[in-house]
Amino acid sequence: MSIPPQRNQAYDEKGLPISKKLDIIIIIVVIMEFWVVALLLLGTLLVDVSSAYQQVVRAGAADPSIVYAHGWYHMTYTTATDIEMVRSRTLKGLLVGKVRPVYTEFNLTAGREANIWAPEIHQIDQVWYIFYSSGNGSEDCETSCRPRVLEGCEAPTPFYCSYRWRADLVPPAGYQGGSDGRDPFGIDASFLEIPGRGRYVLLSGKNQRSVQSIQIGPLNTTSWNVTSWHVISEPDQPWEKNVSNSRPRELWIGGIAINEGPHPLYHDGQIWITYSGSHCQTPNYGLGLLRYNGGDPLQRSSWIKSPKPVLFQANGNYGTGHNCFFNSPDGKETWIAYHATLQKHGACDGSRFTIAQPIRFVGNNTPTFEIPPNLDTYQDPPSGENFTSQAMEEGEMPFDGLTWM
């Protein structure tokens, strides 16, 4: 066997072969590259298992209502056939959280079993209630839907309450909606309390021209009687009746101009009501804002309407509306949750999903709303959310999915 010839070696000033030094440098570079890649992968994993989340809170969830109570987020939404509640220790966990059916109407003669829409969770005098609307199965919603309330229980959270129908939140004939005050149609019931003034039901009902408008009525939460409804906003702004880029009109149900989905917002002694304008069958469904100026809550002059929507379609999210507000776990932030769809012409169906974002208060405490985000971006969790310890405490996996499709 022949011995291969030796290459001519170059040496440094200390007598070490330069080729050996190059080998050492290459090894060091490879090791550094390994650790850079490892750190990048670790960073990706840390993003995934943290409580940051992609923008969709829950798929197939229109008309969201979220409350944070006793360490849990609780959420309801429209199913149309019953009311179910999902809960999670983290906001992003609502995507796959535990679901519990909390109400089904079995009394088919009561006229409450169909079109069960927009359930909202409210705690009144330590008791949990669900405000909602529904109709009967033999007539359309415009004929039979009424605002209603379910009574739950006095408990730390609303999740395990047994709910029963408590009342229809409809005043006597002559004090309802419509041209003669005899139209009891109403949807999207919500609850408002104004210190020093009283308690009220909010809803979408018919004005004197039979157009869906935001109405308010005095509410006795002992007898659950409502004495009268009063219009405080009707669709009189261009954005509230915008049909551009919408589906063919013959595919719609209901009118073009709409105000619906009222929800109260409280901050630093001030009160607002958000509501949705335009039809859900358009991409232009958005959020409007009413500011309470301290007068008689039953008078329209006591509610100052913003002339333009405060939240509107953006970044491929269409039909952005029907919202709720909830507080962060530490109470330092106010968040909004609302639904949207990827259908560019708008939609009133199961393609809608829930998005949640923090809102800010600026200047004279005016609420400001972020534009609907790109769904691929990540959102930091609400302030005070202790993801890891809470998730592990309940035996939940720290990573519960970041995609919603």
CA–CA dist 71, 6 (Å, integer):
74
State whether residue 387 is helix, strand or coil.
Answer: helix
CA-wise closest residue to 354 among 71, 103, 54: 54
Residue 310, Cβ neighbours under 10 Å: how many?
17
In this structure, what DSSP letter does residue 92 have? G
246 within 8 A of 279, measured Cβ to Cβ:
yes
Q: Can you read off the two tokens belonging to residue 182?
A: 């005899």
180: Cβ contacts below 8 Å, ≥ 6 apart: 174
pLDDT of residue 398: 38
Report CA-CA distances (Å) from 372 to 91, 258, 260. 17, 21, 20
228: Cβ contacts below 8 Å, ≥ 6 apart: 171, 175, 217, 218, 298
Sequence letter at residue 276: S
Tokens 């589906």 belong to residue: 247
CA-wise closest residue to 114 among 64, 158, 164, 148: 148
Query: Domains in the chain, ordered, with CATH?
Result: 50-393 (2.115.10.20)
181 within 8 A of 144, measured Cβ to Cβ:
no
Q: What is the dihedral of CA 328, 330, 331, 332, to 10 degrees?
A: -90
φ and ψ at residue 176, rounded to 5 degrees: -95, -145
CA–CA dist 132, 152 (Å, integer):
13
292 within 8 A of 194, measured Cβ to Cβ:
yes
Sequence letter at residue 375: L
pLDDT of residue 302: 99
| Contacts of 195-201 spanning 24+ positions with Cβ under 8 A | 197/297, 198/297, 199/124, 200/297, 201/131, 201/147, 201/169, 201/226
pLDDT of residue 251: 59
Low-confidence ranges of the chain (pLDDT < 70): 1-51, 249-254, 387-405
pLDDT of residue 175: 99
CA-wise closest residue to 260 among 123, 77, 63, 79: 63
185 within 8 A of 213, measured Cβ to Cβ:
no
